[in-house]
Structure 1
Amino acid sequence: MSAPGGRPLRVLVLDHTAELGGAELALVRTCAALGPGVDARVVLFADGPLRARLAAAGVPVEVVPLASTVATVDRERAGRLSVATLLGALRTVPFLWRLARRLRALRPDVVHTTSLKADLLGIVPAAAARRPLVWHVHDRIAPDYLPGPLVRVVRGLARRVPAAVVANSRATAATLPVTTAVAYPGFAPEQADGSDEALERRGGLARRGDAPPPVVVMIGRLSPTKGQLEVVRALRTVVDAVPGARLRVVGEPAFAAEDYAARVRAEVTRLGLDDHVEMVGFVADPRAELDGAAVCVHASPVPEPFGQVVVEAMVRGVPVVATRAGGVEEILLDADADADADADADADADADADAGTDVAPTRTDLGILVPPGDVDALAAAVLDVLDDPAAAHERAVRARDSALRRFPVERTARVLTDVWTDVSARARRA
């Protein structure tokens, strides 16, 4: 796992954002888990909290700034051919030149991009520096997640440009024409610290039936793709049945989602839930939020590429209710244990969706899955957990064992290191 001469393999990671999204938090954990055979450095295209997180983890990091007018272009605008899009492309030329010059100076063995914008913007500098490029794709490259023109561009480039393509889940890999490996975003050891005690405490409450008023927790940035509105609407039914129930919404709006956050707050008031909902804001370490919850809800109305919050809840032994779509489904169906059964379940779910069939909440060995966007099913699933805490606890115990086995960050680091080693060796032979 080393470069010629026995030195560590030099990997340069590119990310377009310095905000703390799921892929960025996973990057920090992964870099910290890399062994001595890899010398990783990160170049960000903007300054922000991610830079401090990486530096605190001992990862060398620097910023090559990209014009904000380009960096803030969202997926919808990027997928449209317009004068603004063309002008934005022209504005990237000086940035690409600066980045290529920096790559030539750093002389990495491999260039690794970890966001969709970085995947695209890294092509020219990596080629100019004559360094192999690895894409780490964290987005489902599908028309239900990205604009159609952008999907066609990314899929076409994926076939021809990168030396390797890594996906963050099987669900993401299924939307790509080629995939070298699947590297799940892993949890760090400290995320499991104290989870034995939290699990035992929750189990004792479930057995005695004397739990305090239940807390439903939802963790993630406030965004239409995360489903906070659906959870608030489902809570109205939950509170009608369990008047003491409360919801804690942990996270802040990001990527220009302030209007959506205002809609969520307005819906809380409209439904008369102000005394039952707390908008917590960003929390750097969500372990305490999870440990105090009776159930963790993941409610994305569109198929998500993975679902790190689901894994975090599983590691803490918290019962999970999640939407049955994308990478979340493979998390709660334990793909490693029975890949064939999962494939059959995926096919059945796709068939139901195509036929317009209403799919009811489904208990699995590890949690409860509901159809995306189905508020009634979401409420029913949460009430299932609250009404039968003993059964929910048994699922949570199995889920924790599954997550500890399948999703440690050390496994992520091994997969990526193997890909980088292979790509580097092939580049040297070429």
Structure 2
Amino acid sequence: MKAAGGTAQGKIVFLHSSNEMYGADKILLEVIRALPDEDRSRCVVWLPDDVPTGQNSLSRALDAMEVSNEIVPMAVLRRRYLKVSGLGPLVARMSRTFIKLRATRPDVVYCTTSAMVLCLPMARLLRVKTIILHMQEIWSPREAGVLGLFARAARRIFCISNAAKDSLPKQLKERADLLVNAHQDNKTTLVPVSVDPQPLRFVVASRWNAWKGHTPLLAAWDTEFCPGELVIMGGPPAVGTGVDVQSLASRVRHSNRITIVGEVDDISPHIDAADFLILPSEQPEPFGLVLLEAFARGRAVVATAAGGVVDIVSDGVDGELYPIGQPGALITSLKSLDRAAAVRMGANARTTYEKRFSIEAFRTRFQFLWAQEIVSVSPSRLNA
């Protein structure tokens, strides 16, 4: 029997492609927190077994929330599986995923990223009642043509930005809803931007993927003009092509003004100690959750004007935007900043966060979409 506001008695299975604590990982936690209590108690999160264990940051967070989670041999779309040598292992993983889904008999299958789209047709074949894709990427036209075939099996698609939704094939947009990311304000006392006349301090926090822009960023510290102090957080990606940030940083002209912190559990203290956050991505960001983390702490950002970023940042108001693919424009933007701009835009950034990106707004929107989807497949409603 269906509980009021909840699902039937089957499991709610989340299929996730990483075990870290970056954007998609944090949003998964917020989705689970936003579920009705009776639904949260039936959640299980399947995490991949084909990435280095590392810190297992996400599984540790799930344990702290008392949410069931398992390391599972899943069919995750990764570059290495798309080579001839990887097709056999991928087919084997698809078979194992299908068998486990069939044994679990979930009422809901929730694929948290596009990397899990191979599992959508499996859920449809098994007649799972609710099948959701949470789209946290921007698809290229080629990806839309291929991934869109698998995504047709999803009943609903939640998109984190207009850029992500716009990249969907036309026939999928009809079942897509906008679910803009948000960030939890930890309610601690905000640290104001310093007004002391000292060099500006910048911070960057992301995986060291090849497209995240660390190379053009460090080039700015290799010019005669030194923008200020730079703190680099993050680390090499568990899968995919990375950049040797430490080696690059050691060779630039102003390497003495660069500090590499690496991966941390909480980036807030480093944002508090900075004047600006930089997001120098060389490909459009689907959203850019780290921007909200900076806004929540009252810090303005410097970022490329593409993808979901333009839905967040107002150029010259709460941040500085520059054209993507133009590293020289990044240097120009950094030269234009001063302490007065840091104070003014930082205050505006906090206002933007409070008005548009609070966790309360996210939960309200998610709960509306969740109730709408669950009610639509409720047997009692269908038989009414």
Normalising to structure 1: TM-score of the pair?
Answer: 0.78
Q: Are the equivalent residues in 1 in contact too, given 2:123–2:131 (CA < 8 A)?
A: no
Distance 1:7 1:181 in 2: 20
The residue aligned with 1:383 is 335
**Match runs of 1:35-54 below 5 Å:** 35-36=36-37, 38-39=39-40, 41-46=43-48, 48-54=56-62
Q: Which amino acid aligns with 1:226?
A: K
2:117–2:150: 8 Å Cα contact kept in structure 1?
A: no
The question of whether the paired residues in 1 share the 8 Å contact of 2:114 and 2:136 is answered with: yes
The 2-side partners of 1:274 and 1:305 are apart by: 31
Q: 1:60 aligned to 2:55?
A: no
Code of the residue aligned with 2:104 in structure 1: it is L
1:181 counterpart residue number = 177
| Deviation per residue, 1:131-153 (Å, 9 max, x gap) | 2201100111114xxxx2x4312
Per the alignment, residue 78 of structure 2 pairs with 74
1:308 lines up with 2:310 in the alignment = no
Distance 2:109 2:78 in 1: 24
* 2:219 equivalent among 225, 233, 236: 233
Please name the residue that 2:236 is paired with: 253
Quote the offset at 1:102 in angstroms: 4.1
The superposition leaves residues 189-231 of structure 1 with CA deviations (integer Å, 9 ceiling, x where unpaired) of 31x5222xx12xx2xx33xxx2433221101111112111111
Secondary structure at the residue paired with 2:372? helix
Residue 421 of structure 1 is matched in structure 2 by 371
- Aligned counterparts of 2:178 and 2:96: Cα–Cα separation in 1: 30
How large is the RMSD of aligned CA atoms in angstroms?
Answer: 2.5
Q: Distance in 1 between matches of 2:370 and 2:125?
A: 17
State the 1:409 CA deviation.
2.3
What letter matches 2:99 in structure 1?
R
Deviation at 1:241, TM superposition (A): 4.9
CA distance in 2, matches of 1:155, 1:133: 15
Q: How does 1:9-28 map to 2 (within 5 A)?
A: 9=7, 11-28=12-29
* Counterparts of residues 2-401 of structure 1 (less than 5 Å): 4-6=2-4, 8-9=6-7, 11-36=12-37, 38-39=39-40, 41-46=43-48, 48-66=56-74, 71=76, 74-75=78-79, 77=80, 83-104=84-105, 107-108=106-107, 110-143=108-141, 148=142, 150-158=143-151, 160-177=152-169, 178=173, 179-190=175-186, 192-195=187-190, 198-199=191-192, 202=193, 205-206=194-195, 210-237=196-223, 240-241=225-226, 245-256=228-239, 260-261=243-244, 264-333=245-314, 363-386=315-338, 389-401=339-351
SS at match of 1:285: coil
Verify the 8 A CA contact 2:121 2:150 in the aligned structure 1: no
Q: Which has the higher helix share?
A: 1
SS where residue 45 of structure 1 aligns? strand
**Does the CA-based 8 Å contact 2:210-2:243 persist in structure 1?**
yes
Deviation, structure 1 residue 74 = 2.8
Q: 1:235 to 1:164 in 2, by over 3 A?
A: same
C-alpha contact (below 8 Å) 2:120/2:154 kept by paired residues: no
Question: How far is 1:31 from its partner?
Answer: 1.9
Distance 1:124 1:54 in 2: 25
Cα separation, 2, equivalents of 1:323 and 1:88: 38
Q: Deviations over 1:361-394 (max 9, x none)?
A: xx432211011132221122122223xx223322
Distance in structure 1 (CA, Å) of the matches to 2:87 and 2:210: 28
For structure 2, the residue ranges without an aligned partner over 5 or more in a row are 50-55
Measure the CA separation in 1 of the matches of 2:343 and 2:85.
Answer: 53
| Greater mean alpha carbon deviation, residues 301-310 or residues 39-48 | 39-48
Counterpart residue identity of residue 147, structure 2:
V
Q: What amino acid sits opposite 1:156 in the alignment?
A: L
Structure 1 segments (4+ residues) deviating >6 Å? none
3-state SS of the aligned residue for 1:101? helix
For residue 154 of structure 1, give the secondary structure of its aligned residue in structure 2.
helix
Amino acid at match of 1:311: L
Q: Which moved more, 1:221-230 or 1:85-94?
A: 85-94
- Give a deviation string over 1:8-58, Cα, whole Å, max 9, x none: 336432213223331012211332243436425132232633111111123
Deviations 1:248-295 (A, max 9, x none): 11000113467512xx33332332232111111001101110011121
Q: 1:293 to 1:127 in 2, by over 3 A?
A: same
CA separation of 1:321/1:7 partners in 2, compared to 1, >3 Å: closer, same or farther? closer
Q: Distance in 1 between matches of 2:115 and 2:87?
A: 15
Q: TM-score, normalised to structure 2's length?
A: 0.86
Alignment length (residue pairs):
366
User: CA–CA distance in 2 between the matches of 1:126 and 1:42?
Assistant: 19
Q: Secondary structure of the equivalent of 2:118?
A: helix
